[in-house]
């Protein structure tokens, strides 16, 4: 077996200002599904401000959450996010803890509002988790399922059976494990549309007004694990189940600007830095263009010959989690090991699905995608 040259051996790559260098100055690209790559300039700013936030003499980590400095950081982060996504004024933005999995429970606890049932669309691993958790609080009707297609396509809207008595209709806009994404927003009439947007949040513009509630763990495009963002239409608040923990009662948190208890202050600070970075990239339209370009290149490389294959229907392929297989699956372990040695990190697919997964979140530079494609072409030449 011939050993492939190291991608990081080229001086051009090693010196790139957008890359990241590992042991011995080797360039690495981190394709992890989350926690995931963050913008280098954000990390550099966090590093520079770690011991002294703007002359205060203290770290953001040390700030009282009710003090003027953190109050400013929090307000600014919310304002910047509102601007980026053009969030209408009748929506509240909450910065909470727990992760999307916690909010799989909190969404029905907060949104049932006296109703007893909710519609869920089953599109893969994460929507299934959401369904299983919701079933502990209400009757869940699966309005549509992609199971028959092995979750390789989003069930078309005309096949959905929606119940007008449902408290809400829940979708998972991007299935991180399957690499499947909604590229359209379903119309659900009077029933509020609720979306777990964890893995494609902030990867593209969203028409917030089409949704009743959006929630997202931050550890994909926003950055740090430990922060969950909830965007909710005000009129849906106030009908939480009696057993809803106070800190997860969206109405109470909205009334207290997410400060019913100590929020995850440092994660919010980092999120704010990322929001600034996204602004600097040109906002959501520019980010979406870049993400489309990156994923289109990679899918083209996958489809180029029979060596690789992507089972997901082209119209429903994820822009952020590109999942594929080697036609000869017995080569996948070798592919992953050689990729790792080339500095192409964390390409292993979700543990349930197997295969290869390249997560191309906002912070992944186009150069990283090109390095992966170069490697894939070389690997297929050596093993084809």
Are the C-beta atoms of residues 359 and 320 closer than 8 Å to each other?
A: yes
- Whole-angstrom Cα distance, residue 48 to residue 206? 33
Measure the CA angle with vertex 366, ends 364 and 370; round to 5°: 115
Footprint of a second copy on 24-43 (CB under 8 A):
24, 26-28, 30, 32-38, 40, 43
**Min separation Cβ 271 and a second copy, Å:** 11
Closest CB to a second copy among 21 and 163? 21
- Whole-angstrom Cα distance, residue 92 to residue 90? 7
Q: Is 220 assigned a catalytic role?
A: yes
Contact code string over 246-285 relative to a second copy, x by CB under 8 A: xxx-----------xxxxxxxx--x---------------
Backbone φ, ψ for residue 282 (5° rounding): 110, 10
Place of tokens 């304002």: 79
Piece of 103-111, 286-294, 299-307, 323-331 that binds a second copy (CB under 8 A): 103-111
Q: Is 277 assigned a catalytic role?
A: no
Are the C-beta atoms of residues 305 and 324 closer than 8 Å to each other?
A: no
Footprint of a second copy on 330-359 (CB under 8 A):
343, 345-346, 351
**Min separation Cβ 267 and a second copy, Å:** 6
Cis preceding-peptide flag for 35 (omega within 30 of 0): yes
Q: Is 378 in the site for a second copy (CB under 8 A)?
A: no
- Whole-angstrom Cα distance, residue 183 to residue 206? 11
Piece of 47-55, 76-84, 229-237, 284-292 that binds a second copy (CB under 8 A): 47-55
Sheet of 139-145, strand order: 91-96, 228-233, 213-217, 193-196, 169-172, 117-122, 139-145
Footprint of a second copy on 286-305 (CB under 8 A):
none
- Whole-angstrom Cα distance, residue 367 to residue 39? 14
Footprint of a second copy on 146-205 (CB under 8 A):
none
Piece of 183-191, 200-208, 216-224, 294-302 that binds a second copy (CB under 8 A): 216-224
Conformation bin of residue 20: beta by default, left when phi > 0, alpha when psi is -120 to 50: beta
Q: Is 184 assigned a catalytic role?
A: no
Closest CB to a second copy among 87 and 278? 278
Q: Is 46 in the site for a second copy (CB under 8 A)?
A: yes
Two tokens, residue 307 = 């060596």
Closest CB to a second copy among 188 and 265? 265
Residues serving a catalytic function are 126, 196, 220
């Amino acid at each position: 077996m011939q050993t492939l040259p190291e991608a990081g051996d080229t001086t051009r790559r090693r010196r790139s200002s957008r890359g990241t260098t590992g042991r011995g100055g080797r360039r690495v690209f981190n394709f992890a599904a989350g926690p995931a790559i963050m913008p280098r300039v954000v990390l550099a700013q966090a590093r520079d401000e770690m011991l002294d936030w703007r002359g205060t003499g203290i770290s953001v980590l040390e700030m009282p959450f009710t003090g003027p400095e953190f109050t400013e950081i929090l307000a600014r982060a919310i304002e910047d996010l509102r601007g980026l996504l053009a969030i209408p004024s009748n929506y509240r933005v909450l910065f909470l803890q727990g992760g999307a999995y916690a909010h799989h429970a909190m969404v029905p606890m907060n949104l049932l509002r006296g109703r007893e049932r909710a519609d869920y669309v089953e599109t893969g691993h994460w929507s299934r988790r959401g369904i299983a958790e919701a079933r502990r609080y209400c009757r869940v009707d699966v309005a549509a399922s992609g199971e028959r297609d092995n979750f390789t396509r989003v069930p078309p809207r005309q096949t959905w059976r929606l119940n007008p008595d449902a408290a809400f209709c829940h979708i998972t806009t991007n299935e991180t494990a399957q690499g499947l994404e909604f590229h359209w927003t379903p119309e659900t009439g009077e029933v509020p549309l609720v979306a777990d947007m964890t893995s494609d949040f902030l990867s593209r513009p969203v028409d917030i007004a089409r949704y009743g509630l959006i929630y997202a763990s931050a550890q994909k495009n926003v950055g740090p694990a430990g922060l969950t963002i909830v965007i909710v239409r005000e009129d849906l608040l106030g009908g939480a189940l009696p057993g809803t923990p106070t800190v997860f009662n969206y109405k109470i948190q909205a009334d207290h600007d997410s400060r019913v208890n100590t929020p995850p202050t440092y994660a919010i600070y980092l999120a704010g830095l990322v929001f600034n970075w996204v602004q600097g990239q040109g906002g959501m339209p520019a980010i979406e263009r870049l993400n489309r370009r990156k994923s289109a290149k990679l899918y083209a490389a996958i489809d180029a010959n029979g060596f690789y294959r992507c089972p997901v229907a082209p119209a429903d392929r994820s822009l952020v989690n590109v999942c594929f297989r080697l036609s000869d699956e017995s080569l996948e372990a070798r592919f992953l090991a050689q990729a790792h040695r080339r500095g192409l990190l964390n390409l292993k697919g979700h543990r349930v699905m197997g295969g290869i997964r390249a997560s191309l979140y906002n912070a992944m530079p186009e150069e990283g995608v090109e390095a992966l494609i170069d490697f894939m072409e070389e690997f297929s030449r050596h093993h084809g």
